[in-house]
Homo-oligomer: A and B are copies of this chain.
Amino acid sequence: MDAPSPAPADLTELLHQRGQRATPQRLVILRELRHRAHHVTADQIRTAVAQELPGMSAPTVYATLDLLVELGLARRVDAGPGAALYDARAEPHHHVVCRRCGRIDDLDGDVDTAGLRHTAERQGFVPHSVEVVITGLCPGCAPGSG
């Protein structure tokens, strides 16, 4: 199948390879990100990990999330105004955003990202990740549902 969620130990190794340090903050943030099935904001991460590591600062959260994205262990999703979202789901997946209530859900199903990547390559780009965001009305906000 697909990747069986690499253990957080990988992060330690990855960091050491780059001459960086495996701090508790980094390990805990990645674990929390993986523990969550869905996308979270930087602030939600901060709140969530406060139980394990009280006093973690916002700059640390942002820096760590950026680092995880750079390492390819997390994805950043910009879906409209407000805070950016992060997730560490192993399988590729995309999102639907309700433009009325702001709700964000996963879009399951097969997306031809290979084709999209190929198109980008033809333009000289080296694709790294593909984000698909569908804007519309969620079941709760769609007319005729309430």
Contact = CB atoms under 8 A, between A and B. Distances in A.
A119 B63 CA distance: 35
Interface residues of A, number: 42
A27 interface: no
Query: What secondary structure prevails in chain A residues at the interface with B?
Result: mixed
Interface string A91-131: 00010101100000101110110011101101111111111
Q: How many copies does the complex hold?
A: 2
Interface of A: 76, 78-81, 84, 94, 96, 98-99, 105, 107-109, 111-112, 115-117, 119-120, 122-139, 142-143, 145
A129 B123 contact: no
Contact of A125 (B127, B130, B136): B136
